[in-house]
Each structure stands twice: as structure tokens, then as C-alpha cells.
Structure 1
């Protein structure tokens, strides 16, 4: 009987520990729920600059995919999470990186999105601290909804905006090719 109890406890602990993935010290849930839609962790990786880990980027989808183009173009609910792991990440640096990212993901055609990009960037004006978590959720029929540490900051509508935003990480010209591969589970 004791042997069965010990085996059961080991299985239970293993099941609980496998319900999360850890990347650069950040524990990522295998599933999250966005607006009632269950999403699975597709992949996660580290955004580095000069060998310094800046943030963990993770991608959550209705079902796993290794095709960045399909993810960018999909109209289904999906989310990108950014977990800040460095004190070097600031609001100003994030906004600069977003500007660069939108330029790359749209092939320098940001004019049609200019006002929505500015609105989106306004959700990142508060001070950043190590441990902050941002969820950029595409909600079908609503647009991109931004959460900081679980608190809704606002939303931006438009499938074209979703494509440009997700394209920062998943397009053919991503901000970081290694992070793209990791987010796509490759």
C-alpha cells in the first residue's frame, strides 16, 4: 500500500511540474485562457541583446503551429506574452523596439497603421520593472487587447494591425530569428 501511495505521489508531482515550462527563470503555463478561449503554449524563447537576456517571448495558439505566416494571418484568438527578465528594459526602449519592429514587419509601410501604432505604444508608457508581464492577445472580433501584469491597458482594432504586430516576432523579417524559431516550437 505504501509503495502505491509513493508511486501516486511521484506521478502527481511529475504531472504538476510538467504543467509549466521554464525559460530564463520565467515559469510559463502550458495553457492560458483569453476571453474564454483556451490557448496552448506553442513555444517560447529569449530576446537577447549583447548576450543579455531582455525578455521571454512566448506564443499561445488554439493549436500548435510551426508556420509563422499562418499564425500572422490567422483570425483566431492567439496571444504573445512578453516577460521582462532584465532591468535594462524600459518603456522608452520598448517603444523604440516596437517602432523598429513595425517598420520591419510591414516592409516600411507603417503609414496606414500610424495612429493605431501610437495608441498601442501608449499602453507601454508606465515604468517597466524586472518581472513585468505583458500579454498581447488577439481576440477574434475585437482586435489586440493588451494586459500588463494581468490588468487590461486597452485595445487596438483591425486584422491588419494584428498582422503587423505578430509579424514583429513571426514574419519573414522578425526582430530576432532565434526567438521566432523558439516561439514556433522549432
Structure 2
């Protein structure tokens, strides 16, 4: 009886400790950004023409279920893109980011973001291609801007919380790249 109880407890503890897995990517349940512990809010898979490109995980200080709540949250945040496609030109990813931001912003808003969007694009000058296993992370660090990392190496920063919200709009904005992905990132 004791053995069976112990076995059940071990199974339950391993279930609760396991990370979410999508497309073979295990997402951390918690990460640290700007000295703040963040929890996995949700995750989703980005596909283009039936080709799975990346698994995204959204990390927040506390669980949120709406775009408005995520955007209004002044705490640190992270969206991490875990590449699952075998090989892709970095330019392909950057065009997708730009298009996703443009879909969610007016011409006037884009004009206000343009210099910082150009800075963001240039951060990837040293990254010629992305491949399966690569991780691109965008961290909002209050007071320090958006930190961009590639496989754990910082590429640089972009100023302004509005820029980070513009990035998030790609995945959870009014016109996201995928409604299923938005639902997943928002814990649905």
C-alpha cells in the first residue's frame, strides 16, 4: 500500500513539474527577466503554408487571458520563439515581424515606430539564418526597453514600451498572425 501511494505521489509530482511541450519543444514553466520571475502564460505554433516555423511562449509576472491585460501590465515580459523549421533566411522572419506590426498599426503609428523598427531589424545583421533549435527572445525590461537575444546572446535593445507592445501585437494584437496562436498565448 505504501509503495502504491509513493508511486502515485511520484507520478503526480512529475506531472506538475513537467514543462509544456509543443512540436518537440519543451517550454520552461518559469524564466527570469530583469530580476523578475515570470511564468509561462501560454504557447502556440506559427505555421506558414502548413510548414511549422516556431513555437512561441509568452511569459508574464502573472497569468493573463486578454490582450488588453497583457499590454497594460507594466511588469517585465518575454516572448520566446523556438525555431522548429530546419532552416530559414533571417530576412524571412524579419519581413514577417514587420508585416505583423504593420497589420496592427495605422500609418501614423508606424511613422512613430519606424526609427526603432529599423534599429530592431539591424540588430539581426549578424544573424544570417535561423535553424531548428534556435531561440529568439524579446524581453520587456521596465526602464530599459526591449532586449533582443538570439540563442542567449544579446543582440541589442530598442527603447520604448510602445515598441514592445507593437512586437506583441504580431501574436496577440487585433490582427494576429494566427488566431489559434493568440488563443494559445493567452492561455486558451
TM-score, normalised with respect to structure 1: 0.90
Give the ranges of 4+ consecutive aligned residues of structure 1 lying more than 6 Å apart after TM superposition: none
- Kept in 1, the 8 Å contact 2:61–2:75? The answer is yes
The 1-side partners of 2:95 and 2:119 are apart by: 14
Match of 1:133 in 2: 135
Secondary structure in 2 matching 1:124: coil
Query: Which moved further from structure 2: 42-51 or 81-90?
Result: 81-90
Structure 2 equivalent of residue 15 of structure 1: 13
Equivalent residue pairs, number: 184
**C-alpha distance in structure 1 between counterparts of 2:185 and 2:117, whole Å:** 23
- Match of residue 120 from structure 1: 120
- More off after superposition, 102-111 vs 114-123: 102-111
1:12 is displaced (CA, Å) by 4.1
Residue 169 (structure 1) aligned with residue 171 (structure 2) = yes
Structure 1 residue matching 2:118: 3-state secondary structure: helix
CA offsets 1:72-124 (integer angstroms, 9 cap, x no match): 23221111010000025320101110110110121343111111111111233
Measure how far apart 1:50 and its partner are. 1.4
1:180 aligns with 2:148: no
CA contact (8 A) 2:134 2:150 kept: yes
- Alpha-carbon shift at residue 168 of structure 1 (Å): 1.2
Confirm or deny: 8 A CA contact 2:87 2:130 kept in the other structure.
no
In structure 1, the partner of 2:154 is 152
User: Counterparts of 1:1-186 in structure 2 under 5 Å?
Assistant: 3=3, 7=6, 11-12=9-10, 14-16=12-14, 18-108=17-107, 109-125=109-125, 126=127, 127-186=129-188
**Is the deviation greater in 115-124 or in 135-144?**
115-124
Is there any run of 5+ residues in structure 2 with no aligned partner, and where? none
Q: In structure 2, how many angstroms separate the alpha carbons of the residues matched to 1:33 and 1:12?
A: 27
> Any unmatched runs of 5+ in structure 1?
none
Quote how far apart the aligned CAs of 1:42 are. 0.5
Is 59-68 or 117-126 further displaced after alignment? 117-126
Q: What is the Cα-based RMSD across aligned positions, in Å?
A: 1.9
SS in 1 for 2:115: helix
- Distance in 2 (CA, whole Å) between partners of 1:69 and 1:159 is 14
